[in-house]
Amino acid sequence: MELGHQTMADEIKNPTNRVDRSASGKFHAIWRGQLVYKGGRIKEFETESDAWEYLARCDAAGKVLE
């Protein structure tokens, strides 16, 4: 019996991107609902526009970039 709904492994749970300011004054990128990490640490950006540009590049690539 088929239910008509197929779950994909890479299904986007939360398609929303956003940028948050950290307590240190730097910015964090949230790509498709997931906080971005680099080398086991939260990736930080000096400016909000840098974070948004990074998120746009991730969207274009369809994945989190290094």
Would 46 be classed as within a structural domain? Answer: yes
Residue carrying structure tokens 């008509």: 4
- Count up the domains in the chain and report the number: 1
Res 36: pLDDT? 97
Three-state DSSP state, 46: coil
Answer yes or no: pTM beyond 0.95: no
In a domain, 7, yes or no: no
Digit-coded pLDDT (tens) for 24-58: 999 999 999 999 999 999 999 999 999 999 999 99
Q: Is residue 2 predicted with pLDDT exceeding 50?
A: no
Phi and psi for 7 in degrees, rounded to 5?
-95, 125
Pair of tokens at residue 20: 């948050």
Which domain, by its residues, includes 56? 18-61
> What residue has token string 């969207």?
59
Domain assignment present for residue 31? The answer is yes
Question: How many Cα atoms sit within 13 Å of 39 on the Cβ side?
Answer: 2
Answer whether residue 37 is part of any domain.
yes
pLDDT, residue 15, reads 78
